[in-house]
Amino acid sequence: MLTLADIAFDHARALLARYGLELVRVADGEAIPGSYWGDSEAGIIASTVYARADTPVHSLLHEACHLIVLPPQRRAAVHTDATDSVEEEDAVLVLQTVLADALPGVGRERMYADMDAWGYTFRLGSAKAYVEQDAQTSWQWLAERGLVQLPQRTLAA
């Protein structure tokens, strides 16, 4: 599982800053504020993402994407749990794979593998199959909000 210690913290910070988010490094062994899952999983409060060196990159991106898809007025109210919307959750899963390509040393294929290893579950059996074959609604949802361009190829319906 790729962790924040395996990549350049400044690259992750810069990526999140492009979306108006702040990435705060939490000291090793300290509790991560706003972490839904606890342990080493990333946390979110308002426009801030919290992570330690041992935080999985997939967790960092997943929680950041929850904030990215929200309008600023909803972001400000977030503490630990960003949404109860299935549409938003599904879109976040796609967006985190897109953003993985923007982080040197990560990439989409590694993100798929780490999502599967962590235990994300999908109807077609894998993160890659979901994003490439089963996520048309999520791609559309993200495109309507200006967060992605629709893939050149048509996703299977």
Q: Can you give the pLDDT at residue 26?
A: 98
Q: Can you give the pLDDT at residue 147?
A: 95
Q: Which residues of 1-20 are buried (b: 16+ CB within 10 A; e: fewer)?
A: ebbbeebeeeebeebbeeee
Residues 6+ apart with CB under 8 A from 87: 137, 138, 141
Pairing of strands 48-51, 22-25: parallel
Which pLDDT band holds residue 82 (cuts at 50, 70, 90)?
A: confident
Dihedral, CA of residue 130, residue 67, residue 147 and residue 55, to nearest 10: -60
Q: Which of the 8 DSSP states describes residue 5?
A: G
Name which of 73, 76, 95, 82 is nearest 140 in CA terms.
95
Q: What percent of the chain has pLDDT above 70? A: 96
**pLDDT, tens digit, 9 for 90 and up, residues 3-41:** 999 999 999 999 999 999 999 999 999 999 999 988 999
Strand order from edge to edge, sheet including 43-45: 22-25, 48-51, 43-45
Delimit the domains of the chain by residue range: 1-156
Is there a contact between 66 and 85 (Cβ–Cβ < 8 Å)?
Answer: no
Q: Can you give the pLDDT at residue 121?
A: 81
